[in-house]
Amino acid sequence: MLSNMPNSSSRATTSPAMLELARMLASCDLKVTRPRLAVLKILKNSTTPLSVQELAAALPPLPTINGVTIYRILESFTERGLIRLVNLRHNHLDYELVERHDDHHHIVCTKCGLIEDFYGCGASKLMSAAIKNSRHFATVNEHSVELFGLCKHCVKL
């Protein structure tokens, strides 16, 4: 009976939230490791896309995590479609989690950098029209739309 008790080494993967993260990794054929779980957890809890620096700053101090591991983890996540890169014109790329059926995009303030999500980009219509008129393309699988403008605060400055 006692052998079923979670011990300290497995505690990190036994909470419901951690089990969900572990399941997300497994469904992408990624081995469940502490560094991967830690990176995924931060991306999952963030309401805005994160730069590598922001991500690194939010990570718990794990002996197995350094700059190289973070890049490798992000690369493996991107390859499997678990996360996507967004270009918010911040002179670096940001990463965010791809939630299933979640087609959201961002409006970015070009003055203060404020980010707001928006839905309803109408890309499916655009994509079928583009394919219909395309000479060389058979399918479109992805799209990226980011909008840039001034927030209500900055427009008054």
Residues that bind Zn ion (CB under 5 A): 96, 103, 109, 111-112, 114, 121, 123, 151, 154
Q: 6 φ, ψ to 5°?
A: -65, 130
Tokens of 51: 């730069």
- Find the shortest distance in angstroms from Cβ 12 to Zn ion: 26
Taking the complex as a whole, how short is the minimal distance between the CB of residue 137 and Zn ion, in angstroms? 18
**Distance spanning both ends of the chain, measured CA to CA:** 66
Report in angstroms how near the CB of residue 67 gets to Zn ion at its nearest. 24
Judge contact between 131 and 140, C-beta under 8 A: yes
Q: Give bridge partners of residue 116 from the DSSP assignment.
A: 107
